[in-house]
Amino acid sequence: MGLVTEPRAMTEPRASASGRENFPVLDQRVHGKPLVYLDNAATTQKPQMVLDAMNQFYQVDNSNIHRGVHELSERSTRHYEEARVKIQRFINAADWREIIFVRGATEGINLVAYTYGRRHVQAGDEIVISAMEHHSNIVPWQILCEEKQAILRIAPINQRGELLLDEFEKLLGPRTKLVSVVHVSNALGTINPVAEIARMAHRHGAPVFIDGAQAVAHMKVDVQALDCDFYALSGHKMFGPTGIGVLYGKAALLNKMPPYQGGGDMISSVTFAKTTYNDLPYKFEAGTPNIAGTIGLGAAVDYINEIGLDRIQAYEHELLAYGTAQLERIPGLRLIGTAREKASVLSFVLEGVHPHDVGTILDREGVAVRTGHHCAQPVLEWFGVPATTRASLAFYNTRQDIDALVAGIYKVKEIFGCGAGSQPARDSQSRQEVSS
């Protein structure tokens, strides 16, 4: 059997309102009901194009990168590095060397805490985060502060789940060594004014880290326009594979940071007496990376570009408004997170029913949601709830998905005999998709 070396035959994403037909996993029944996948903040589904790109890599090109002189290695290296340039353009970084492949947003944050943080934070210094952070953007800074006897400051939020910018600014001062905030909250959906935050922090000479795990699949991100110093994103939350993410950093800062992990590829030369380190971005990419995952992420970027982030954002905005209106009509339901600038998250509690019971009953209806604290325990505590049920949207969701969620919630209410009301008659418009 000969080797297949033909150019890649990938599945073309067909332009449709939702792009849904490109996601094979969505086309199934769960507990006998059509799957309604509303757990996109936990992880998004993968289009055929991403699956094909990774399969193609293993079937045709598989080889280690940056090392071999043979054809397969050169091909693998080329595809891996092409993915880096795709990401660079996707977030408008000034230089491809500013794109570092990591395991996910969590690793990106830890990388900066362990390198920039260890070098620049001393006893009595301060790091400022917000009250709505994911554990990934709390714990690495806590570990650093504990080690260095530094102080973690928490910028407060209001009842809607919006950052209080004035209060945030008051926390900044000569001791602030870093600010790290989430772009879009996974628990509330709040979109933070990160460009404004960066301006404020820079006035005090503090670099800014933006946790963009929940942002990049929903809105256009331009790291130069935001003028952030670091930005982390997560492949699996933007229709790419798990185990791959990106840390963006301004070259001037990255160049001054010590390496994160030692090993192959991050060195320029090694002797037992002394090792010198490789240039950016390789200095931070020790060992064999997730090559297939990186190529899959590149394909996910192609896919998003093909649909268009402007279109995605407008579509999801309408879908979120529709979902919010539908949920607000349900007696006994309280939305957690009602920020005026919000994306893709409908987090709620239902009077008299534990969120885990809501999630379990919804699952029996084929509706997949997340229940729990969403790795953001402090913010839920602030709202006075131990857990919520969270429906989170992607562009392949439709009004019918929202309707299925609402019908499922009424079923929960019926089973638990709580509160008034059977489901009101459906909005006739709701059978249509939001965009056409």
Q: Which of 163, 212, 214, 155 is nearest to 179 (CA)?
A: 155
d(CA 294, CA 53): 10
Report the C-alpha gap between 246 and 112 in whole angstroms. 12
Contact flag: residue 213 with ligand PMP (CB under 6 A): yes
Q: What are the structure tokens assigned to 180, written together?
A: 């790290």
Alpha-helix residue ranges (DSSP H) falling in 248-354: 251-256, 291-307, 309-328
Q: Which listed residue (45, 48, 110, 136) binds ligand PMP by CB under 6 A?
A: 136
In whole angstroms, the minimum distance from the beta carbon of 186 to ligand PMP comes to: 3
- Residue 136 or 176: the one with the smaller Cβ distance to ligand PMP is 136
Select the span of 72-80, 120-128, 211-219, 333-341 touching ligand PMP (CB under 6 A): 211-219
Please choose, out of 131-139, 152-160, 326-334, 364-372, the segment that lies near ligand PMP by the rule CB under 6 A: 131-139
Which one is catalytic: 145, 228, 375, 418? 375
145 part of the active site: no
Q: What are phi and psi of 98, to 5 degrees?
A: -90, 0
Residue nearest to ligand PMP (CB): 104
CA distance linking residue 304 with residue 288, whole number of Å: 27
| Subset of 176-205 contacting ligand PMP (CB under 6 A) | 182, 186
Residue 21, C-beta contacts closer than 8 angstroms, at least 6 positions apart: 14, 27
Q: Does the footprint of ligand PMP cover residue 370 (CB under 6 A)?
A: no
The smaller minimum CB distance to ligand PMP, of residues 12 and 381, is found at 381
Query: Do you find a cis peptide bond into 281, omega within 30 degrees of 0?
Result: yes
In DSSP terms, 181 is beta-bridged to: 210
Asked if 234 interacts with ligand PMP (CB under 6 A), we say: yes
3-state secondary structure of 50: helix
Comparison of 22 and 136: residue with beta carbon closer to ligand PMP: 136
Exposed / middle / buried, residue 55 (Cβ in 10 Å: 0-12, 13-18, 19+) = middle
| Residue 71-110 contact track with ligand PMP, rule CB under 6 A, x = bound | ---------------------------------xxx----
- Give the residue numbers annotated as catalytic, written as ranges: 375
The binding site for ligand PMP (CB under 6 A) comprises: 41, 104-106, 134, 136-137, 182, 186, 211, 213-214, 234, 245, 375
